[in-house]
């Protein structure tokens, strides 16, 4: 059995940290015998999610391991190997990017938990949210940002890992058949369920939440590595604002109001 473990982080503070590469620079300007700092802060040039740190390190190590013997190959072979390994490294860094998001300063809203494109908006009966609930499915291609964010402020009331298959994420059968992590959040007024669903390439779900934890809309809580989908189940009291084909940004796009 090919089991991929759901990975928690040890502390709440850690999941908010980012694996960031910084360029620190200082410009010295001496004025009247005193040291004047024009700028002494860190200038961010690239930010990567902590959830991808181990993968980035492995890819860098393997790329170096593969590139070293290429020094003894003919020139054309060296160029080909360096190009391939550099492409893999650059794609890995690009995949694990973690851009800042501006969370809407509004109340009574439900945010998109993932970047991607809306696949489905349809009626869906669920034992928790009730009949006439709405299912909103977001497909994440390998080129989307894969850091997932909390859609609703409240308390985590449901967490359940479900092993399964690894069908293509855009195949609607993956909603029921694929490996997934079910998450429920309740704020005392409304309860929202959403599922991190692995795909054909994405075979590792990262979820840093714990049952009973209080969360805030827009916070980062995990990711699904290398393409997948996130399904959000909204209760009948939610007024859905999105439609199929619409592009979403995690923590910014408003899926619904209530």
Closest CA to 207 of 183, 240, 191: 183
Could you tell me how far CA 94 lies from the centroid of its own chain? 13
Task: Please give the C-alpha separations between residue 159 and each of 36, 46, 219, in angstroms, as whole numbers.
Answer: 53, 32, 17
- Phi first, then psi, for residue 250 (nearest 5°) are -60, 130
Q: How many CB atoms lie within 10 A of CB 89?
A: 17
Beta strand extents in 116-210 (DSSP E only):
116-126, 130-140, 147-149, 154-162, 180-186, 191-198, 205-207
Judge contact between 6 and 206, C-beta under 8 A: yes
Question: Which residues 6+ apart lie within 8 Å of 45 measured at CB?
Answer: 21, 22, 23
Can you give the C-alpha Rg of the chain in angstroms? 21
Distance CA 33, CA 48 (A): 41
Q: Which residue numbers are catalytic? A: 228
Residue in the block written with tokens 């040890």: 10
User: Whole-angstrom Cα distance, residue 15 to residue 161?
Assistant: 19
């Amino acid at each position: 059995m090919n089991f991929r473990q759901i990975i928690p982080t040890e502390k709440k503070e850690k999941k908010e940290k980012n694996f960031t590469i910084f360029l620190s620079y200082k410009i010295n300007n001496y004025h009247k015998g005193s040291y004047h700092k024009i700028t002494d802060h860190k200038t961010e040039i690239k930010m990567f999610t902590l959830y991808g740190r181990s993968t980035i390190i492995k890819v860098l190590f393997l790329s170096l391991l593969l590139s070293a013997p290429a020094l003894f190959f003919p020139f054309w072979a060296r160029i080909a190997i360096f190009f391939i390994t550099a492409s893999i490294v650059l794609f890995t860094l690009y995949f694990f990017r973690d851009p800042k998001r501006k969370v809407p300063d509004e109340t009574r809203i439900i945010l998109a938990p993932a970047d991607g494109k809306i696949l489905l908006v349809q009626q869906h009966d669920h034992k928790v949210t009730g009949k006439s609930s709405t299912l909103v499915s977001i497909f994440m291609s390998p080129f989307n940002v894969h850091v997932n964010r909390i859609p609703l402020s409240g308390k985590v009331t449901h967490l359940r890992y479900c092993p399964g298959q690894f069908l293509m994420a855009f195949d609607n059968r993956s909603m029921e058949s694929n490996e997934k992590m079910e998450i429920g959040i309740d704020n005392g007024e409304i309860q929202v369920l959403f599922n991190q669903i692995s795909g054909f390439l994405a075979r590792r779900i990262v979820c840093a939440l714990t049952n009973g934890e209080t969360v805030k809309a827009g916070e980062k809580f995990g990711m699904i590595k290398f393409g997948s989908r996130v399904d959000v189940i909204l209760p009948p009291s939610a007024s859905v604002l999105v439609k199929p084909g619409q592009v979403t940004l995690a923590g910014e796009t408003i899926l619904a109001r209530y």
